[in-house]
A and B are shown apart, each in its own frame.
Chain A
Amino acid sequence: MNPYLAGFLLGLILLGTIYVTGRGLGASGAVKSVLLSAVVKIAPEHSANTPYIKTYSEEHPDGPLKDWLVFEVIGVVIGAFISGVLSNRAGIKLERGPSITNSTRIVAAVIGGLLFGLGSQLGRGCTSGAALSGMAVMSFGGIITMIAIFGSGYSFAYFFRKLWLK
């Protein structure tokens, strides 16, 4: 799809979401909701002793099955899958840069995810919730987070070029 057309559609979806619900889109919050409720289930005692998890589960008593972002991300999975099937892109696959092995790629993906997950907690949102939705409502914090994400990406790009380039 033409990227500008895709962007325009993305903007309309975001606008529609803001119009209906008064809030933007997100992603990392869903991971948080599922993960922290799982931690509470698996290790209730530990959770009760960890103030952050305790506060979170008190503030979200309904759990992930009543969480807006969890439902939204389930939708993302469905939508992306439909699109992948339609464009013939679905299938088990591992994509990596030309000069690294499969296991390096997996390790890098886990580390990258870990950093992004951690950063999204500090930034109170990721590229979707803070940067994109923040831009739509002109939030200073959201736009600052966006500048920090891409600024940092560019600053570190040189050091990790081996992961992606020949």
Chain B
Amino acid sequence: MGPLVPFIIGNEFNLIIALIAGIGFGFVLEQAGFSSTKKLVGLFYGYDFTVLKVFFTGGVTAMIGVLWFGHMGILDLSLIYINPTFLVSALVGGAIMGLGFIIGGFCPGTSVCAAAIGKLDGLAFVFGSALGVLVFAEGYPMFEKIYLAEAWGPVLMNEQLGMSKIVFAFILTAFAFTAFYFTRRIENRVNKIETRFEKKKIIAYSSAIAFAFLILSVVAFLPDSESRRESKIAKALEKHDFTPVLVPADKLADQIVNNYYKINVIDVRDSGSFNVYHLPFAINIPLEKMGERQWKKILDQKHKTNYFYADDILMAEKAYLTATYLGKADNHILIQSGSEFRNIYTNLVAPLPDAGKNEINTYNFRKKAATDMATLVEALKNSTQPIQVKTSKVKGGC
């Protein structure tokens, strides 16, 4: 699941990704004609709306894509970088940038493109923007007040408008298409020309519009990957058409004593019950948090066997099914509940002298296992704690 950095792709290789993304970015900007100020400022005088077309199409495409990826469960939207809102400095900074745009004719990205193909004015603009950053850095005490005022944090547009993400996406997409239509009319009036749509173009444009709304409708009306998983699990539980490997307490105890390094004992109860009592070496992955990416390495691996347990078999089965849908590993269920396991190994009652051989054997096994487990836990106290994987938010910035 994305974002791939830093879990799947390391931070070093990320720089290569940056280079590749940049090549694509620069190529497209230049192909769109953004290395020319004539095209860029055309937006402000009404004779060329290329900037708006490229910019809006790009933004809307990425926005729909992000929503769709989130819906399919391949991108964790809670981890992506959201530019924080500092209302005052966003407005003041934006106003200064707009002024810079109309005087200089570029924005930083496009000036780099222009400089790359040999435009001297582009180079001058890049030089100027370095000066501007320097002015800010040197004069920071002067700017600090507006820079930090009205810090709202990473708020979203749709939250501010009191609507869901998908509704906002629909509105913005519709707005973009409407803007495309009207800007074309303005362009035609300013340039005193009349454009006619060829049949081919009409087909291309209307299918693009249809495609955009189709994807938005998929996100809006079809269940997302999480609810699909939930309903699959509910169905499987109802029909009971799965055959988990059920393991009795004694077998698990034996595994813990002899193969503790080959197994994961997973407690899917909430952390409160976990802290009161848990099996030796158990890791706490609460059932509702199994989808979090920090557990992926446990649920999706081929080296260790996973043993799930809970307070009742139904919950353990749910965890087992969730684990099967989330990853790929050798999964088992402990038949007994956590407290039953505890009972078996802490309240050992010596059998009567005339008890059967089996009973005595079981008693002896359990007694030894209980001591062994306690010894092991004590001995490995420091080395068996699972490594905490921090799910850090991505840092961004322009």
A interface residues with partner B (beta carbon < 8 Å) = 1, 3-4, 6-29, 31-32, 34-36, 39, 50-53, 56, 66, 68-85, 87, 89-96, 105-106, 108-157, 160-161, 163-165
Residue contact B41 to A133, C-beta cutoff 8 Å: no
Residue contact A138 to B105, C-beta cutoff 8 Å: no
Chain A residues with Cβ below 8 Å from B29 are 10, 76, 79-80
Residue contact B100 to A20, C-beta cutoff 8 Å: no
Identity of the chain A residue whose Cβ is nearest the Cβ of B172 in the assembled complex: A135
Residue contact A152 to B121, C-beta cutoff 8 Å: no
The segment from B54-62, B227-235, B344-352, B359-367 found at the interface with A is: B54-62
Residue contact A84 to B23, C-beta cutoff 8 Å: no
Chain B residues with Cβ below 8 Å from A135 are 59-60, 62-63, 172
Residue contact B129 to A113, C-beta cutoff 8 Å: yes
B101-127 contacts to A (CB < 8 Å): 101-122, 124-127
- Beyond A52-B140, A149-B101, is A72–B94 a contact (Cβ under 8 Å)? no
Q: Does B152 contact A (CB under 8 A)?
A: yes
- Beyond A112-B128, A140-B156, is A89–B35 a contact (Cβ under 8 Å)? yes
Name which of B15, B94, B103, B156 has the most chain A CB atoms within 10 A of its CB: B94
Chain A residues with Cβ below 8 Å from B119 are 93-95
Complex formed: what's the CA distance from A118 to B171 in Å? 32
Q: Does B236 contact A (CB under 8 A)?
A: no
B interface residues with partner A (beta carbon < 8 Å) = 2-5, 9, 14-33, 35-38, 41, 43-45, 50, 53-63, 65-66, 69, 74-75, 79-87, 89-122, 124-138, 140-141, 143, 146-147, 152, 154-160, 165, 168-169, 172, 180, 205, 208, 393-398
Chain A residues with Cβ below 8 Å from B122 are 109
Pick the residue among A9, A25, A113, A144 that contacts B21 (CB under 8 A).
Answer: A25
Q: How far is the CB of B142 from chain A (nearest CB, A)?
A: 11
Chain B residues with Cβ below 8 Å from A6 are 28, 31-32, 54, 57
Pick the residue among B92, B106, B394 that contacts A21 (CB under 8 A).
Answer: B394
Residue contact A20 to B396, C-beta cutoff 8 Å: no
- Beyond A3-B57, A71-B15, A142-B83, is A152–B128 a contact (Cβ under 8 Å)? no
Residue contact B35 to A141, C-beta cutoff 8 Å: no
**13 extra interchain contacts, Cβ-Cβ under 8 A, other than A10-B61, A79-B24, A110-B124?**
A22-B3, A27-B109, A28-B108, A50-B138, A78-B26, A80-B26, A106-B120, A112-B128, A114-B100, A127-B107, A148-B94, A157-B45, A160-B102
Q: How far is the CB of A96 from chain B (nearest CB, A)?
A: 7
Chain B residues with Cβ below 8 Å from A96 are 121
Complex formed: what's the CA distance from A131 to B93 in Å? 12
Residue contact A148 to B133, C-beta cutoff 8 Å: no
Residue contact A79 to B398, C-beta cutoff 8 Å: no
Chain B residues with Cβ below 8 Å from A3 are 32-33, 50, 53-54, 57
